[in-house]
Amino acid sequence: MNWSQLLNQVYADAIPTLGRGEVATYIPALAEVPANRFGIALVTVEGDLAAVGHAHEPFSIQSISKVFSLAMALRDGGDALWQRCGREPSGNSFNSLVQLEREHGIPRNPFINAGALVVADLLAKRRINARADLLKFMRNRVGNERLYYDERVAASEAATGARNRALAWFIKSFGNIEGKVDEVLDLYFHQCALAMSCVELARAACFLANEGIDPFTQERVLNPLQTRRINALMLTCGTYDAAGEVAFQVGLPAKSGVGGGILAIVPRKLAIVAWSPRLDPQGNSVASLAAMRSFVERSGLTVF
């Protein structure tokens, strides 16, 4: 398949949607990103790369980082995480407190904010410097030692993170955050502030398309079962409370972030990332979703 030709067609299909949606303004640093940015990149397990538009421009990956922190947590602790976090879609907003009260501080899944905070607690407990280790893990996946946390975005997250602080303390009240809340929040705010391009993010996620093996370094990142489980969670829980609709329309494991990025996996084939800052009411990028729909329709690649 001519991947570059395909992405150019997908890009053209999605361009008419660029004016739809709103940029996330509740994190001030995100509100300043030009709303007309749009890029798509894919990386295959054979090492082929295709990119179009602003695919080489770094952006704040936000909740897409939860895929990688979860991978690290599974490497560190195996199935122990599932005693503290569920695996079901939430059906509520990604930063909702409602279910935590009814379900005794056990988040529904690791991709809502509450679940990601529990994952961050697990990492912080097991590592001397989890923040540095996560950055090293991502640099190894990308092959770029200059990959960085955008400290301005992290500070913006912290300054406006009242709801996440409330979530963390609420979970702490049930004993499901074991470490220091401020350390957990610092790790969480920084992972969301990872600055990566579509190309870098697609390469970083390629192990999820290759049964857990990084095709560039040949390092086994996860075992095949762990890899399948992350892909399953991406399909059912990865795009906030629109996961069912995205599975219906796209049919690929996907994880979105309010920075406008969407990562999707075609198992045994490739990782694809689209980025555009304008979001729909569920918090997913309008143009990125349009690109994913077009990609599946034109390529025929889907898990169904």
Question: 252 near 235, Cβ under 8 Å?
Answer: yes
Is there a catalytic annotation at residue 188?
yes
**DSSP state for residue 288 in the 8-state scheme:** H
| Catalytic residue (one of 23, 66, 119, 156) | 66
d(CA 155, CA 248): 37
Closest CA to 292 of 72, 38, 90, 20: 38
DSSP at 220: B
Q: Distance between CA 243 and CA 253 in Å, rounded?
A: 9
State the catalytic residue, choosing from 11, 184, 188, 246. Answer: 188
Is 285 one of the annotated active-site residues of the chain?
A: no
Number of H helices, E strands in the chain: 13, 8
Cα(211)–Cα(220) distance, integer angstroms: 9
Grouping H, G, I as helix, E, B as strand and the rest as coil, residue 37 is: coil
Clarify whether 148 is annotated catalytic.
no
Q: Which of 23, 258, 273, 286 is catalytic?
A: 258
Give the residue carrying structure tokens 């949607």: 17
11 is catalytic: no
Of the listed 142, 240, 286, 294, which one is catalytic?
240
65 is known as an active-site residue: no
Q: Map residue 58 onto helix, strand or coil.
A: coil
- Centre a 10 Å sphere on the Cβ of residue 167 and count the other Cβ atoms it contains: 28
Crossing angle of helices 113-126 and 162-173, rounded to 10°: 70
Task: Please report where in the chains the tokens 């407990």 appear, as a residue.
Answer: 125
Q: Annotated catalytic sites, by residue?
A: 63, 66, 188, 240, 258
